[in-house]
Amino acid sequence: MQATQSAVTNNEYRNISIAALVESGTNPRKRFDPVALEELAAYVPRNISCLLCP
């Protein structure tokens, strides 16, 4: 985890393959409500994406 924190602190970004990603064993979310996920997907483009782009 230290390497990840260091990369973020130093504004260092790396391209890695999807195959290199591993699910965290401490991730509490295992299941997602499909309706809530659809609502979130509809909400983000209207309300959040403008905040993420300069």
47: three-class secondary structure by DSSP: helix
pLDDT of residue 50: 64
Question: Which is more confidently placed, 14 or 17?
Answer: 17
Check pLDDT > 80 for residue 10: no
Check pLDDT > 60 for residue 9: no
Percent of the chain at pLDDT above 90?
A: 15
Number of domains in the chain: 1
Whole-structure pTM value: 0.40
**Distance (Å, rounded) from C-alpha 42 to C-alpha 12?**
31
**Distance (Å, rounded) from C-alpha 26 to C-alpha 3?**
18
Q: Are 49 and 41 in contact (CB under 8 A)?
A: no
Q: Which pLDDT tens digit goes with each residue over 22-41?
A: 888 888 877 889 999 999 98
Q: Which domain holds residue 46?
A: 2-52
